Amino acid sequence: MDWSALWLSVRLASATSAALLVGGVPVAYWIVFSPRRWKYIVEAIVALPLVLPPTVLGFYVLVAIGPLSPVGRAYARVVGHGLPFTFEGLLVASVLYSLPFAVQPFSTEFAAVDRRLLEASWSLGVSRAATFRRVVLPLSVRGLVTGIVLSFAHTLGEFGVVLMVGGNLPGATRTVSISIYDAVQSLDYAAASRTSLLLLAVSFAILTSVYALQRSVWIKPRL
Amino acid sequence: MDQAAPVTLHVQAAQRFSGGFTLAASLDAALHAGAMLVLFGPSGAGKTTMLRQIAGLDRPDEGVVRFGPDVWCDTARSIWRPPQSRRAAVVFQEPSLFPHLTVRDNIRYGVRAQSENAGDDVAAIEAMLGTADLGNRHPRALSGGEAQRVELARALATRPRLLLLDEPFASLDAPTRLRLRRDVRALLQATATPAVLVTHDRTEALAMGDLIAVMIDGRVRQLGAVADVFTRPADAAVAAALGVEAVLPGRVVGVGDGLVEVSIGDLVLHAAEREPVVRGADVYACIRAEDVTIETRSAGQASARNHLAGRIVGIAPEGPVDRVTVDCGFAIDALITRRSREELQLSPGARVTAAVKATAIHLVPRV
């Protein structure tokens, strides 16, 4: 088994989930609580990775972070090397690719919080931000966990985007799904089957826990 | 109790809703410390919308909300104070306690950590509302009455300048409701907090209100002291909204044998004791015009306990019957058939006796 590829995938998935927790919560908050009429456009953009072929997303990310774009050039000037075919480049692509898997469970759960609780909190003198922190977030734990776990699992299994943006550099951008592809290309079916079985088991375990969470097997439902 | 000058609550709000309902209400109420203004009216009259405008939870299309010298909203001058800075705590009809917090944490939720004596205040409020023993329980383990008590404690713990109550007793059973009304009234007076209460229950309006604003179809049709508005409704629509009973303010001067003696002006009425009242209590005696009969001379021995001598001051036809108004120190209406009126030869100025059975007088104690 390609342990270095597996380790890289776990690191990438963890970093992606962490970034989505930090970045996805504000996006979900804005989608749920903003009075803007055009927020459906933002919702559609967030959902795009669900329907877009990974190669298309990967292509655009590659162009956007590459030396042809101002962003890519600025990054290269500051850090000393470009984003494409690096772990950081993969991370950017993964965050975009898994965005709906985090933002949608977050926003579903935020929107499910009874509006009267928010109004009661405001009228008790507690600011909107503090109300979000003290009421909405604690009541949305299930949605937060679901979003984190789903984006972790989704990143673990991504292939097309990684190939487009990261290539196949052992230890830097060669993730576990690419190592399976490599193993099959070199007719090493035994290695491919071991790694596939592991991914299958991990994915199943993760999804089982997500659905158990939704059914409140561990966390008692709130009133 | 704080005897400072009353605070004026001024609301002038226009709001159009997509369903066709339009709120176009204005209100100017001088609220003494601990006083209660009742927003009364049928369902759909705009009472809750009005309350939400005062709370800052809804914004009028056009209008002004002022509390004392503070402008909370003025659309013409683009002034808008969010609910957080109004210090007008809201208690809703359905309990809205934070389900993830214990009773204790719910009650202390809005208490600013830096404010002095906050702990003492909270303890006093909890003692009066009897929520101290519920401390570690979660809201889902509370009964409806307990939850509303916790909600009231949570609102009062923030020392609001104005307490806004949106039918908070409507979903409670009768005994719980009566106890809670009394406790809320006492607490508002102890903390000198003025309050606005939305209700469509006239007994509640009578029992709790000092001032009443009658709302119909999105407008405030009459505002005044509760007894004044009930005895002198401004027009037929207000009278219909308030109900057709005469409402006579009085005081209990005797209780015994299942009868309550109520002094109203110079007269004493006898009413059946339906719920316990004590001597000296302020009550409203409510009498439906259907329950009043007119006698032209003494009927001798009759079962009606109350015989009130007076003079007819008005006769108005009302469908198949006539409404006869008798002045016997206070005005009381009787609904009688046209044939009875003709047989008794009633006309304005005639001396008659209005008779009311003790069981037909409904007493509403003030809390």
Write out pLDDT tens, residues B310-334.
Answer: 999 989 888 788 989 999 888 888 9
Its ipTM equals 0.81
Pick from A114, A123, A138: which is nearest to B83 by CB?
A123
Residue A223 lies in a domain: no
What is the C-alpha separation between B351 and B364, in angstroms, rounded? 30
Could you tell me the two tokens for A86? 């690096």
Task: Kindly report the CATH number that applies to the domain delimited by B247-365.
Answer: 2.40.50.100
Task: Kindly report the CATH number that applies to the domain delimited by B7-87+160-243.
Answer: 3.40.50.300
Partners of residue A120 in chain B, C-beta under 8 Å: 90, 92, 96, 151, 154
Residue A223: band (very low, low, confident or very high) from pLDDT cuts 50, 70, 90: very low
Residue A172 lies in a domain: yes
CB contact under 8 Å between A122 and B83, yes or no, is yes
Which pLDDT score is estimated for B1? 43
Partners of residue B112 in chain A, C-beta under 8 Å: 125
Pick from A123, A128, A138: which is nearest to B100 by CB?
A138
Length of chain A: 223
Partners of residue A127 in chain B, C-beta under 8 Å: 84
User: What phi and psi, each to the nearest 5 degrees, are found at residue B289?
Assistant: -60, -30
The CATH number for A113's domain is 1.10.3720.10
- Mark out chain A residues that contact chain B at CB-CB < 8 A: 114, 116-117, 119-128, 134-135, 138-139, 222-223
Which pLDDT score is estimated for B301? 60
What integer is the mean pLDDT of A182-194? 92
Domain count, chain A: 1
CB contact under 8 Å between A138 and B158, yes or no, is no
What is the C-alpha separation between B255 and B278, in angstroms, rounded? 7
Q: What does the H/E/C string look like for chain B?
A: CCCCCCEEEEEEEEEECCCCCEEEEEEEEEECCCCEEEEECCCCCCHHHHHHHHHCCCCCCEEEEEECCEEEEEHHHCEECCHHHCCEEEECCCCCCCCCCCHHHHHCCCCCCCCCCHHHHHHHHHHHHCCHHHCCCCHHHCCHHHHHHHHHHHHHHCCCCEEEEECCCCCCCHHHHHHHHHHHHHHHHHHCCCEEEEECCHHHHHHHCCEEEEEECCEEEEEEEHHHHHHCCCCHHHHHHHCCEEEEEEEEEEEECCEEEEEECCEEEEEECCCCCCCCCEEEEEEEHHHEEEECCCCCCCCCCEEEEEEEEEEEEECCEEEEEEECCCEEEEEEEHHHHHHHCCCCCCEEEEEECHHHEEEEECC
Q: Which amino acid, residue B74?
A: D
What percentage of chain B reaches a pLDDT higher than 70? 95
CB contact under 8 Å between A223 and B99, yes or no, is yes
Closest CA in chain B for residue A135: B98
Other C-beta atoms lying within 10 Å of the C-beta of residue A11: 14
Q: Minimal Cα–Cα distance from B91 to chain A, Å?
A: 8
CB contact under 8 Å between B96 and A116, yes or no, is yes
The gap between the terminal CA atoms of chain B, to the nearest Å, is: 17
pLDDT at A222 over 60: no
CB contact under 8 Å between B140 and A223, yes or no, is yes
CB contact under 8 Å between B84 and A122, yes or no, is yes
pLDDT digits (tens, 9 = 90+) for A57-115: 999 999 999 888 998 899 988 988 888 889 999 999 999 999 999 999 999 999 999 99
CB contact under 8 Å between A119 and B90, yes or no, is yes
What is the C-alpha separation between B182 and B275, in angstroms, rounded? 14
Are B7-87+160-243 and B247-365 equal in CATH topology?
no
Residue matched to tokens 């923030």: B158
CB contact under 8 Å between A124 and B82, yes or no, is no
Domain ranges within chain B, ordered by starting residue: 7-87+160-243, 247-365
The parts of chain B modelled with pLDDT lower than 70 are: 1-4, 113-119, 244, 298-303
- Mark out chain B residues that contact chain A at CB-CB < 8 A: 55-57, 82-90, 92, 94, 96, 98-100, 109-110, 112, 139-140, 151, 154-155, 158, 164
pLDDT at A216 over 80: no
Q: Minimal Cα–Cα distance from B357 to chain A, Å?
A: 47
CB contact under 8 Å between A126 and B164, yes or no, is no
Mutate to test the interface with A, among B72, B90, B108, B161 (most CBs of A within 10 A): B90
Mutate to test the interface with B, among A33, A116, A121, A123 (most CBs of B within 10 A): A123
What is the C-alpha separation between A11 and A176, in angstroms, rounded? 11
Residue A97 lies in a domain: yes
Q: Minimal Cα–Cα distance from B164 to chain A, Å?
A: 10
Pick from A117, A122, A125: which is nearest to B98 by CB?
A117
Residue A52: domain span:
3-214
